[in-house]
Structure formats: structure tokens, C-alpha cells
Amino acid sequence: MSQHRRHRAPARGPRHRKALAGGAFAVTVGLGVGLGVWAWGGDGSPAGSARHASGAADSSPASPGASPSPTRSYPLSEAPRTIPAVRSHTAARGPGWRPAHGERVVVSDASLADEGRLIAGELGLTYAGEKNDVRAGDVRLALGGGQGGDPESYTMTVRGGRVEISGPADAGVFYGTRTLKQEVHGGGTAPEGVVHDAPAKPRRGFMLDIARKPYTAGWIEDRIRELGDLKYNELGLHFSDDQGFRIESDSHPEIVSKDHLTKAQVKQIVDLAAGRHITVVPEIDSPGHLGAVIAAHPDLQLRNAQGVATRGAVDISKGGSAAIVDDLLAEYAGLFPGGQWHLGGDEYQALTVRDPEASYPQLAAAARKAHGSGATVADLTTDWLNDRAATVRDHDRTPRAWNDGFFRDSSVRPAGDMVVAYWTGKELGARQPAEYLAAGRKVLNYNDEFLYYVLGEPQTFVYPTGQRIYEQWTPRVLRGTQAVPARYDSQILGGSFAVWSDLAGAQTQDQVAAGIRMPLRATAQKLWDSGQPALSWAQFKDLANRLG
């Protein structure tokens, strides 16, 4: 399976073009149905002549040069009903396509074998591999076409009793198979016509805190299958925090919690995700949220001027703190092969007090030694984050960090390629998202007002609802409920729904799965197409229930 690259999706085209050609009507629509007429295929053959309304295949195609003859009457097809909704559908008249025993999935390129086998198994078809012949009922997967070279775009054509899904890369073809799967599961038949589809945002994620609450490998794998069908392409794993370190380690086994995932289990998770074009993005949060590391290395714990230990924070003036974190980053680079890495950087307790330099004189002294007489604890902390970014960059990863790990008044500037994971505006000196965007930063949307599912609803958090996300949130709503100006849209790479396990016992993992079901679907819709949805919330919810 080739690794897919991310590109910004092209602008959406007009949604209401009409064309009359070859005796067949084609209308680009959102949803709707036309009047019945005699229908003819674009190749001169009767539309639907190869497959009838019952879905049975016609095994005797018309001879070359034969004159077309009228078929039964079909209404103009409706757009597919899927989550997320397709961006464009050109309607046609015909019976559509439904799977039947013995029919084939074929591919035009060997690199699409994984996609072909998966959809064949899901629809009860036979995977026949690379084939050049054409049979009634075929589903053909092919490379080529797409929208502006976007590797996540695809075209799906349902015509003449067959389906062809094509895209410039295997990722787009995979997403086309997700559309086909949902069409069949939701209504039994893929409607006649042509779908052109591509995501609005290149990063569509789900983040899971397994540090505070361990989740079984099987539960995580079930979420990956769910995410793949919804066209998500990132799974974030926050596996280190004060409450636990949840993945086996060879370099520092002393920090690993009793209840953890083995590397073999993680590899299986990563491989399953890759098969569904999902990149697993690891997060070892530092220099705060390292309580599990400190428990095994108490000498690294940050202490204030009075000698009082600071919870979860390592002393970044000590070389041993950087050494152990870099050991871990290097070790797990081999386990997580994707191109992204989350460095955390949030809630370093030394910077949550009014006078960090007075409260933590050892940090102030280290800052002045490294960066000059006017340097601050914020400078030292920014330098720490830059050093960790350099470590993951050496492994060809793009770093990201929480927005409260970026500081306004530091003379040391955060690395230019560091992506801002914007989640809050509650920290001291909080800045509006537009400040990061105006500085040219790329931003990911983790808005805690809409996208944070925090177990037990501590502090001011409440469980987010799918309806609120669906009706009020877009990727431009980065903080609170206000959208940033449209001119920044291209800098917002996408977003992520997040489950945080602050009160781990508040819900079982099955309750979490049920609680996030509709929020995940609503988020998927708004990341794929941030415009006003065609369906009402009630219709969207009914569709989700029908699709399963």
C-alpha cells in the first residue's frame, strides 16, 4: 500500500449544471428525483440495458453496431446518501447497480489489490485481480483522473450495469469504495450516474487518550474500521501522561504501566489503519504531562523555589529530561511510520504562575545562560520544544504542538514548520487563533468547545453533541463559536475530534463508542464539506441509523 500525500482539495464546482446529450439527461444535483423517460446510455446503448431493476445481470451484450432500442422507464437518479455526503453527483436514468453473487471486483493496477479485496469481501463479491475484460456487474477500480491531482479525490461511474471507481492515487479509490459500500448498505443499490468527490480539508482526525484510560486493542481496531468508512485519515494516540505510559518500551521499560499495549499490538493497529489510509499520529506530551516518566525518575521532577514538586512537569534545565524524551521519540519513530508527530507542549506548570522566573530560579538561570541576560522561562521552554521538533524531524516527521505551547513574548521563536494544534483560549496570555494564522502558521482545529469529549465532564466540559457540531461548527471555528476570516481557510489543514479520559471510570469503552458515534459522523461531514449540509439534522441522524 503506497503512502498517500495530502494536498488541498480544489474549489467546488457549480452544483446545478444541466446537459442533454445522446438522448440521456444528466443533472448535477444534491438530492432529487426526475420524471420517467426512455433512457439511453452515453455510449449509444440503452441505459440500464445490462442490468434490470431487479439487479439481475444481462449476460448477452448488444452486438457491435446494433441500433439502440427503448428500455423500461427509469426516473432520474438521486444523489447517493452517504456520510460524509458526496460533493457532486451527475444524475442519469437507469437501474443503478446492486451486488449479486458471482460478480467481480477487478483492478487495473496491482497497487489497488488491497482496496479491491476489501470491498469485494464487504459486498460479497469475488475479487478477480487485474483484468482487462468487461463483464456485466463488474466493479472496476482504476488509477487516473481525479480532481486537480488531489490524491484523495475520486470519480465513481455507475452505468450499463457496472461500476468504475477511479482516482489519481489509491487513497481516492479507497474513498470511492467507501461511498459504494454505504450506498449498498443504505439502500441496496448504487444509483445511476457519476460522482465527483474530494475532501475540503486534507487532515481529518480522531484523537484518543489511552494514557489516562487504557483501551483494548480490539476496541481501537473497531474505531479504525469506523473511521475508515467515514473517510477520516488520522488517528491520534496520546499514550503518555501523568496517569500512565501505555505502550511497551525497550529503551525505558521502567516507565511503562502494567496495563499497556505491546508493540506487536500497536503494529497491528498501525497496519490496519494504513490499509484504510489512516495515519496513526503518536503523542508523547512534554515537558508537562510526564508524571509516568517522573514516577520512575523522580530526580527529573520540577521543583519550585521552596522545593515543592510540580505535578507532571520535568525540570528542563536538567540534561537528563531531554535525554529520556529523545530516547522515546527515537524509539517510537520505528513503530509509527507516518509523517506526523504530536509533541504536546501544553500546560507546562512552570508557565502557569504569574512570575515563572521568581518561582523557578533554576529555569531562569538556564534560560539566561543559553539565550542571554534578558531570556525568560518561556524562551527556555520554546527552545525545549524546538529541540524535540528537531528530533522528530530527523526521522522525517512534521511536528505539531498545542497552541498553549507557543508563547507571544519569547525571544526564541517556535520552529517555523511546527503546526499549531489549537484547542483552547484559557491559558495565561491566551491569543486568538487569528494571531497564529496572521503569522503564517498552519493550524489544526481541536476546538474544545465542540470537539472535546472529556470523560466525566470535569471543570466546564460537557459531552459534545453531533447536532451542535453539524449545525454550528466548521473548520474555521477554531475557538469558542466564532469563525476566523475566510482568508485564512487555506491555512487550516483540518481538525480532529478528541476523547480525553480525565475521569477514566466515568464511562466504559463501549459507552464511549456509543457517545461519540454521532459526533464522529457530524465532524466527518464538516471536514469533508464545510458548507451548509443538504440534510437537516433529523434527516442526517436517520441516514446514520440506516447506514449503521
- Tens-place pLDDT, residues 165-174: 999 999 999 9
Q: Per-residue pLDDT for 469 more than 80?
A: yes
**Average confidence (pLDDT) over 370-390:** 97
What percent of the chain is modeled with pLDDT above 90? Answer: 83
Burial class of residue 127 (count of CB atoms within 10 Å of its CB; 0-12, 13-18, 19+): middle
Q: Which amino acid is at 16?
A: H
Q: How many CB atoms lie within 10 A of CB 416?
A: 9
Q: In 104-169, which residue ranges form alpha helices assigned H by DSSP?
A: 113-123
**Average confidence (pLDDT) over 478-496:** 97
**Residue partners of 323: CB distance under 8 A and separation at least 6:** none
Query: Which residue of the set 347, 427, 435, 471 is catalytic?
Result: 347
**Average confidence (pLDDT) over 65-88:** 78
**Average confidence (pLDDT) over 465-491:** 97
105 or 14, higher pLDDT: 105
Q: Per-residue pLDDT for 497 more than 50?
A: yes
In this predicted model, what pLDDT tens digit does every residue of 309-344 receive, in sequence order?
Answer: 999 999 999 999 999 999 999 999 999 999 999 999
Q: Please report the pLDDT score of residue 60 as a whole number.
A: 33
In this predicted model, what pLDDT tens digit does every residue of 125-160 receive, in sequence order?
Answer: 999 999 999 999 999 999 997 667 899 999 999 999
492-500 vs 203-209, strand pairing mode: parallel
Cα 192 to Cα 71: distance, rounded to the nearest angstrom: 15
Can 78 be counted among the known catalytic residues? Answer: no
User: Scanning the structure block, which residue is given the C-alpha cell 500512565?
Assistant: 244
Q: Please report the pLDDT score of residue 425 as a whole number.
A: 84
Q: Please report the pLDDT score of residue 145 as a whole number.
A: 74
Q: Per-residue pLDDT for 24 more than 60?
A: no
The model's pTM is 0.86
Q: Please report the pLDDT score of residue 72 as a whole number.
A: 64
Q: Per-residue pLDDT for 430 more than 60?
A: yes
201 and 527 in contact (C-beta within 8 Å)? Answer: yes
Q: Per-residue pLDDT for 214 more than 70?
A: yes
Q: What are phi and psi for residue 541, nearest 5 degrees?
A: -65, -40
Render the burial of 49-88: b for 16+ CB within 10 Å, e for the rest.
Answer: bbbeeebebeeeeeeeeeebeebeebbbbbbbbbbbbbbb
Phi-psi region at 464: left, alpha or beta (left = phi > 0; alpha = psi -120 to 50):
beta
